[in-house]
Amino acid sequence: MSPEASVLTQPGFDDFEGASYIRRPPTVDLGSDVITVLSVSPIRDDHDILERLLSRKNWRIQRADSLASGVAKLRQDRVPVVISEEDLLPGTWRELWAEAARSPVPPTLIVTSQVPAESLWAEALNIGAYDVLAKPFDAVEVTRVVSLAWLNWKFQHEIGSCLLPKRVMAAAG
């Protein structure tokens, strides 16, 4: 049986104990929807670059120049994707994530860094961030990561937060 065949729409038909099930994802059509991305960085150029890179992709960038303003915007609006600078002096992306994770519908977090150390990648992914983007930003990479982060958020929070069976996850990567 292929790994894809083990993804079932009804529980009780998998052949291993403790499986979680997933509904098949629908085709995603953004249409004319505008999707908000919260950019949290004390660096104005980061906001400007992200706006330029994502402006033609139905994205609207909300700017926050500090941890405090980022937290305030998270409390005010439902934001699916947050892009946070590693250092938000005073504060860090970890504090932003801790606040975001308290939300009933937490956003997907992407951390940015001028020189992302291997330890940042490991920590960010282990804590629950979606990805790490290196600066200077690459247009294709930013578009890819933000789009996939949004799809991940949409799938988890609007379709259902089911888990893939372990063998499907192992086959995926």
Q: What is the mean pLDDT of the chain?
A: 77
Model pLDDT for residues 24-69, shown as the tens digit of each residue: 333 334 445 788 999 999 999 999 999 999 987 688 999 999 999 9
Strand partners, 110: 83, 131
Scanning the structure block, which residue is given the tokens 């139905």? 58
The predicted pLDDT at position 89 comes to 85
CATH number for the domain harbouring residue 141:
3.40.50.2300
Domain that holds residue 150: 33-159
pLDDT digits (tens, 9 = 90+) for 90-136: 899 999 999 999 888 899 999 999 887 888 888 988 988 999 999 99
Structure tokens at 154: 């949409």
| Cis amide prior to 3 (ω within 30 degrees) | no
Long-range contacts from 114-123, C-beta under 8 angstroms, 24+ separation: 116/86, 120/86
> How many domains does the chain contain in total?
1
- pTM, rounded to two decimals: 0.72
With residue 163 as reference, give the H or E element that holds it.
none
Q: How many residues does the chain have?
A: 173
pLDDT of residue 77: 87
- Of the candidates 96, 78, 92, the one whose C-alpha atom is nearest the C-alpha of residue 37 is 78
Task: Compute the average pLDDT of residues 62-83.
Answer: 94
Specify if 167 maps to a domain.
no
